[in-house]
Structure formats: structure tokens, C-alpha cells
Amino acid sequence: MRALLVVNPNATTTTPGGRDVITQALGSELKLDVLETTCRGHAARAAAEATVDGFDVVVVHGGDGTVNEVVNGMMDAAGAEHASPWGRPAVAVVPGGSANVFARALGGPRDPVEATATILDALRAQRDVVVGLGRVDPAPSPRPRPAGEAGGRWFTFNAGLGWDAEVVAAVEEARAAGLEATPLRYAGTAVKHYVDQRRRPRSMTVEIPGAAPVPDVRLAFVTTTHTWTYLGSRAVRTNPGTSVRSGLGLFGMRDLGAGTIASTLRRMLAPGGDPRGRNVLRQDAVASVTVRCAEPVALQVDGDLLGRHREVRFRAVRDALRVVV
């Protein structure tokens, strides 16, 4: 079985010793090629080449951003656009980031060595599952896109407009300055940008098929899983009725007052989190969502900033990707 191991050596929780153990374990049973990424886009290019070359599985050791790159490279590889999940390599994830939302949503171990053993067991048993993905497509712009402002992209667990995307942008800047992306840093950054959102609230209109448009939405998340993210060991759930096989979950808020935020966050963090309320907009399984913004608003996809946009369409793509679990 031909396998490509894509390693992000800069991911938050990867170590040289851990990478060696994982490489040796996989190499003992697979015909293994190893790639350490050196820049943004490197993982996507490698995954696209592996797809064209007929590899059986791509193993990702890194955070959610690296997983996202690999998935986009595979899905957009030449000749793979209309292929079935069995016409592309399967994906396996060895967690190496700070949150590892996609891997944890699939029930995989958090420990990298345990995850590697689970992957090898699954490959021996030919055990995999087919999951859905999300696709985000910003509306075409009449002007050239600025550097860093991407077009369409696949996402594995969530995308968001507004507050959370601003937090992602700020944490990315901190990481570029050599600071670690810890849960505490995310929390502190979220508080800082909450104050900014209160001073300058974003205005968005959310549209889903078969329903009237909802105006004056202040933030919007779209997920493929019930969990939006994790704070350490605790899941932050926005859409408990959404899964990687059900379509998209939509979560929005029409008010960012302290009372609304506190009560909603408490419900999101509760066991089985089920946030509701008169200022909460939620649908747990929809085929598509369109968000129109009064001014360009920051967009994040799987924790990666995709510039600022006035209109974005999200759609569910069922049975898109084979995952080794």
C-alpha cells in the first residue's frame, strides 16, 4: 500500500522525536513517502500530486490547517474533480495541532502515537468511512482579489464570518511573531475582538433554501460537525444535530450583548451543548447557506483566514472524502 506522510514541522504539538516514531511505525507496514512542509500551499501541492500518482492513503501529521490543505489538494487535483471518494486516496490524521477538531470529531485518539496505531489497525482491516465536506465560494469580485484573499475552498469542519474570523487573523499574526497558539491566547484574543465587534457591529443577512432571509445577523458559523472547536478537552458545540454525514449546520447570533453571549456560551459548553434563544439563529442540517454583508467581513475556513468578502455561499457536499478511522 502506497502512502504519503505529510508533516507540518511547525504545528503546535509536533516534535522531532514524535515525528520519528510515527514515521518508523508507518514505514514498517507501508510503502511510505515522507514530506515535511516548508511553506503555505506545500501540503496541498503534495496531496494533489499523490492523488494524480495513485497513492492509496495520505496521512497528515499536523493541525487542522494542514488537514485542510491536504483535502483541498486532493479534491482539486487534475482529473479528480468528479471522481468518487474511491477514486482518490483515503485520508488519515495524526493530530499535531492545538485543537485538532476534524480528527476529534471523527473519534480519533488525541495522542499522536495512539492515533498512528489506530490508523495502522484500520488499514489492516480496510476500515474507513465516507464523510461529507463543506464548500465555500465567495461571490466573484469586479476587482482583482488582493493578496491573501482566496476564491473557493473546501472545509472539513467549520467556516465563519465576523468575530471568529477576526480572532483567527489575530492569532495567525501572533504565531507569525513566534507566539504559541494556546487556548488561553485564543480566549484573550476573542475578548479583545468582542469589544471591537460591540463598537462596530457587522451586519449580515443569512439565507437558507425555503426560508425567509434573516437580516441583522452579527456573526455566522457554518459547520460540518456538531462541534465548532475545543477548549482544551472540552467541546464547544454549536449544532448538536449536525454530523459529517448530515449536511451543514448553521449557527448565527443577532445580538452580541454580554448577557446573550454568556448564556449562549454556557449552553455551548454544557455536556451535549444545545444553544438556543431568541437571538440565536440555528439550523442543524441544511444543503446550503448564503451570507450577504453590508461591508466586507473577515472569512475563516478551518481556522485559516480567507480575506474579507461581501457575499459568501456555503454548500454541503455529501460522500466526498474517505477517512481512515
Distance CA 294, CA 287 (A): 24
Q: Dig out the grid coordinates for 126 from the structure.
A: 480496510
- Ordered per-residue pLDDT tens for the chain, 325 residues: 999 999 999 998 999 999 999 999 999 999 999 999 999 999 999 999 999 999 999 999 999 999 999 999 999 998 776 789 999 999 999 999 988 999 999 999 999 999 999 999 999 999 999 999 999 999 875 555 544 445 699 999 999 998 888 888 788 788 778 887 777 787 788 888 777 777 777 889 999 999 999 999 999 999 999 998 888 888 999 999 999 888 999 999 999 888 998 999 999 999 888 999 999 999 999 999 999 999 999 899 998 889 989 999 999 999 999 999 9
* Domain ranges across the chain: 2-126, 135-319
Confidence (pLDDT) at 140: 73
- Taking alpha carbons only, the member of 183, 190, 11, 209 closest to residue 97 is 11
- In degrees to the nearest 10, what's the CA dihedral of 148, 154, 158, 160? 40
DSSP element (H, E) containing 320? strand 304-324
Per-residue b/e over 238-269, b at no fewer than 16 CB within 10 Å? bbbebbbebbbbbbbbbbbeeebbebbeebbe
What's the pLDDT tens digit per position in 205-227? 999 999 999 999 999 999 999 99
pLDDT of res. 229: 87
CB 154, CB 133: distance < 8 Å: yes
pLDDT at residue 144, rounded to an integer = 53
Contacts of 300 (CB under 8 A, 6+ apart): 159, 160, 164, 165, 168, 169, 306
Q: Do domains 2-126 and 135-319 have the same CATH topology?
A: no
How remote is the C-alpha of 309 from its chain's centroid?
18
Cβ-count burial of 325 within 10 angstroms (0-12 exposed, 13-18 middle, 19+ buried)?
A: middle
HSE (CB half, 13 Å, CA atoms) of 126?
Answer: 2
pTM of the predicted protein model: 0.90
Residues ≥6 apart with Cβ < 8 Å to 115: 93, 94, 95, 103, 108, 109
Amino acid at 205: T
Please state which of the four CATH numbers 2.60.120.560, 2.40.50.140, 3.40.50.10330, 3.40.50.20 is assigned to the domain occupying 2-126. Answer: 3.40.50.10330
pLDDT 10s digits, 249-290: 999 999 988 899 899 999 999 988 899 999 999 999 999 999
Provide the 8-state DSSP code for 140: P
Q: Are 66 and 39 in contact (CB under 8 A)?
A: no
Cell numbers for 133: 465536506
Give the DSSP per-residue string, 59-119: EEEE-HHHHHHHHHHHHTSTT-TT--GGGS-EEEEEE-SSS-HHHHHTT--SSHHHHHHHH
Architecture of domain 135-319: Sandwich (2.60)
Name residue 78's amino acid: A
Instruction: Identify whether the C-beta of residue 260 lies closer than 8 Å to the C-beta of residue 219.
Output: no
Q: How far is the C-alpha of 95 from the C-alpha of 11, rounded, in Å?
A: 9
